[in-house]
Structure 1
Amino acid sequence: MTPAARTQAAIELLDEILAAAASGGAAADTLIARYFATRRYAGSKDRRAVRELVYAAIRQAGPVPVSGRAAMVAVADRDPALAATFDGQGHGPAPITPDEPRAERGIAPDWLVDALTASGLDEAQQAALVDRAPLDVRVNSLATTRQAVLEQLPDATPTPLAPLGLRLASGTPIEQSDLYRAGLVEVQDEGSQLVGSALAAQPGEWLVDLCAGAGGKTLQIAAAMDNRGALLACDIDRARLQKLPPRAERAGATIIESRLLNPGHEAQMLSDWAGRADGVLIDAPCSGTGTWRRNPEARWRLTPDRLARLRMMQEQVLSIGAGLVKPGGRMIYIVCSLLDAEGRDQVAAFLAAHSGWSAEPVEPTVGTPHGPGRRLDPASHGTDGFFVACLRAPC
């Protein structure tokens, strides 16, 4: 592909990504993979170059651009070499005109910037939300040690806060490595490892991962339990939950039971666990504002209405989780969001509505204090953004 053809490909992909964001379609990574699956002539350098252009445009634009071309022109305005590829030759895009639309630079749509500011994030903290993220992995303590993995990954460095974490260069194909295939490491952001450890899982306990998804934190909990006890992993998303059994087999995590739940009937389907769990982990569905470094187009998917629906779901899963905890047991509430509406305020509302429940200090101490919990953010801690709180049931 010529440089101009790469620019045109990026514009076409941006148009697809914008349409998917508006309709709830596939994520940018998926769309990029599909695009090149039908264009075998594009080599690895072409794919990498186009991907870089696409994400540069996404990260730079705050409000939703009017088109993929508007997003790319805004990048070209600051890059003469890129601007030169708008030459109208062959498969290249038409020349740029002075008065054509440009995407507006920024962090996010205005209403989201206002919400982040009201949640206590300054300009530097907001800007870091759309930086590129590193690649972190968690060493599987059921199978090996961090030192042993370090000896096989000389380019890796220990993460500063998570005791089983390693940091690799972005783009490292770790999932194609023998280490990954043998179940010795799992891809997991350091922040995710830290908030997952707040459950303080112990061997022999009865624990529930209520919103397990594909099971990243479930595997972390199983390792902390040393495969002793009972661990129930639940979700309402069949496609995501189906990824857990093969991951558990690869990791050697033998105590996990997966359970698919029907929306609206979760409490009935979990009646055998009612009041029995030593601890419940709730990694609640949320806006994902703390993970924009990895999914920057997610800023364009979120609307006030969607945020309101997510808050209702969070309230529901907190209520379901509370019914599973035994007297004196604990519940860890996590969102990968930095909006107070989903974190601090959600926990405060739960405590006000559930007599006898209390918030306790999060252990290990992670992030910075924030209301009844603690918060991690990319600028302050070098991790994805999270809010975590530890809630104790009445005895």
Structure 2
Amino acid sequence: MRLPGRIAAAIDVLSDVETRKRPVSEALKAWGLNNRFAGAGDRAAIGNLVYDALRRRASYAFAMGSHEPRALVLAAVLRHWGETPETLAAMFAEDTHAPAPLTPLEQAGAHAEVEAAPDIVQADFPEWLASSLKRAFGSDLAAEGQAMAGRPSLDLRINALKATPEKVAKSLARFSPQPTRYALLGLTMPAGPGDARTPNVTTDEGYQKGWFEVQDQGSQMVSALAGAQPGDQVLDLCAGAGGKTLALASAMGNKGQIFAYDSDRNRLAPIYDRLKRNGVHNAQVRAPEPGALDDLVGKIDRVVVDAPCTGTGTWRRRPDTKWKLTPELLAQRQSDQAAILEEAARYLKPGGTLVYITCSILPEENDDQVAVLLSAHPELKSVDIAAAWRSAFITDIPPGLMTPGGGVLLTPHRTGTDGFYCHMLRKA
């Protein structure tokens, strides 16, 4: 397929997403099944167009004067893929699979200025979150949003139980991986422009042997901040598929004990194969049964809570969820977080540390939740996050990362990572 046909396909996919209210991944899969002639390169390019259109939906709509899928896809091509109205007109005229010719309004949208738009539109954030995000970022709102609207890198965490960064870099040399900026055991491959494809590293022998895991650098960093030590008793209370359990086991050198638990069996299911592939021997999976964790009350050195949240920090990877988030869903997540934090506090032994993590950039899910917990539990005190940072990364914490409430907030603009929040509290 040539670019005009890919543009037409992306418009169809985005229309399907908007009409049927289903995830982009499902719509792209359905399109691929119905158009088996399309190669892997075509499918990747179409996916890039759809995701790029959604990442900047607000500013594209402002520039183009329309929220329609056609306007958004054309904006991505004209404003960020390097094409011009003239080059598109020539290509459209020669391709029978091309969309209809560009209108004068669409041609003007290629160069329309968005500086006159409200900051929240320039930032490509939902307007109803303006006050929350201004509270989080202040005058950096537009810059934070524009970074969040970019494409994410592909990051890997080296499994220290089996490999070294040098060993993995050699295995993946064809993809030119580079060391991550902060994570000491990370490698990264920046996203390419236009129709560039993401490297498929999971077919590499190193992945099959458990040398590395695909994990955003931000997730690696908050796992490192947890400070798990060999010999610790650690409870991963919201383990999910086990990404942070694996990172904790690697940091602990397979010594001590990790109890991996999640209230959802389906989320927990992949952890068994991942533990085996990574050579983890100090993790015990606790299935969600009544009383499954009763024997751990008051006995745990570190309780890691990777809490269910709105996922606003992952909007680069899942931009469709940016526009589906509602006040009701945010309120539900806040309720879930408060309940989980109360539960987590029960398992701490005296001197134990609670590590609260979200992949959210919203203060309501971060500092606010910690403030409520601290007010109800005077025996808990915030840990000096700057000291924890120095211990984890052997360097001082960069300016601007600490939140007013004493946590740390990572973002694409600040750290080149997904959005992650971490706050640590110690029991007296």
* TM-score in terms of structure 1 length: 0.89
SS of the residue 2:389 aligns to: coil
CA contact (8 A) 1:107 1:113 kept: no
Structure 1 2/131 Cα, relative in aligned 2: closer, same or farther at 3 Å? closer
Structure 1 residues 158-212: Cα deviation after superposition (integer angstroms, max 9, x where no partner)? 1121111111243121111111111000011111111111221122221111111
Contact kept, 8 Å, 1:135 with 1:167, in 2: the verdict is yes
2:243 to 216, 221, 228: 216
Equivalent residue, structure 1, for 2:144:
125
CA distance in 2, matches of 1:148, 1:99: 53
Equivalence for 2:393: none
Structure 1, gaps ≥5 residues long: none
**Mapping of 1:64-83 within 5 angstroms?**
66-75=67-76, 78=79, 79-80=84-85, 81-82=87-88
Cα distance in 1 between the residues matched to 2:78 and 2:412: 28
The answer (yes or no) to whether the contact 2:158–2:213 under 8 Å persists in 1 is yes
1:75 Cα deviation (Å)?
A: 3.6
Q: Does 1:313 align with 2:336?
A: yes
The 1:76–1:182 alpha-carbon spacing in structure 2 relative to 1, beyond 3 Å, is closer
Letter in 2 for 1:345: D
Match of 1:252 in 2: 279
Q: 1:304 aligns with which of 309, 322, 327?
A: 327
Residue 281 of structure 1: SS of its match in structure 2?
strand
Judge conservation of contact 2:5–2:95 (CA < 8 Å) in 1.
no
Alignment coverage as a number of residue pairs: 385
Secondary structure class of the residue paired with 2:310: coil
CA contact (8 A) 2:155 2:188 kept: yes
Report the counterpart of residue 17 of structure 2 in structure 1.
17
Provide the residue aligned with 1:52 in structure 2.
48
Check whether the contact 2:122–2:145 (CA below 8 A) recurs between aligned residues: no
Q: Report what 1:286 is aligned to.
A: 309
Correspondence for 1:388:
422
- Alpha-carbon distance change, 84 to 208 in structure 1, aligned in 2, over 3 angstroms: farther
Provide the C-alpha distance between the structure 2 equivalents of 1:261 and 1:284, rounded to a whole number of angstroms.
Answer: 16
Higher helix share: 2
- Structure 1 counterpart of 2:72, one-letter code: A
Give the equivalent residue in structure 1 for 2:118: none
Distance 1:173 1:180, change over 3 A: same
CA distance in 1, matches of 2:206, 2:88: 39
SS in 2 for 1:107: coil
Identical positions, percent:
39
Quote the residue 1:234 is aligned against: 261
Asked whether 1:113 is paired with 2:130, we answer yes
Structure 2 residue identity aligned to 1:109:
P
* 1:110 to 1:88, Cα distance in 2 relative to 1, 3 A: farther
Q: Is the alpha carbon distance of 1:120 and 1:76 closer, same or farther for their aligned partners in structure 2, counting shifts above 3 Å?
A: closer
Matches within 5 A, 1:1-395: 1-19=1-19, 22=21, 25-26=22-23, 28-62=24-58, 66-75=67-76, 78=79, 79-80=84-85, 81-82=87-88, 90-98=96-104, 106-121=123-138, 122=140, 123-154=142-173, 155-170=176-191, 171-261=198-288, 268-362=291-385, 363-365=388-390, 366=397, 368-370=401-403, 371-394=405-428
Shift of 1:77: 5.8
**What letter matches 2:423 in structure 1?**
A
Give the Cα separation in 2 of the matches to 1:336 and 1:194.
Answer: 12
Alpha-carbon distance in 2 for matches of 1:114, 1:18:
26
Post-superposition offset of 1:72: 2.1
**1:62-90 deviations in whole A, cap 9, x for unaligned?**
28975422422444664424466666974
Rate the CA distance shift 1:77–1:151 in 2: closer, same or farther, 3 A.
closer
> Would you say the 8 A contact 2:208–2:277 is kept in 1?
yes
8 Å contact 2:249–2:258 — kept in the other structure? Answer: yes
Does the C-alpha gap of structure 1 residues 105 and 198 become closer, same or farther in structure 2, counting only changes over 3 Å?
A: closer
**Unpaired stretches in structure 2, ≥5 consecutive residues:** 115-120, 192-197, 391-396
Give per-residue Cα distances to partners, 1:244-300, cap 9 Å, x unaligned. 1111110001222223337xx6xx432121111111101111122222222222211
Structure 2: how far apart are the matches of 1:231 and 1:351? 26
- CA distance in 1: counterparts of 2:78 and 2:183, whole angstroms: 41
Moved more, 338-347 or 371-380: 371-380
Give the TM-score of the pair, scaled to structure 2: 0.83
SS in 1 for 2:230: coil
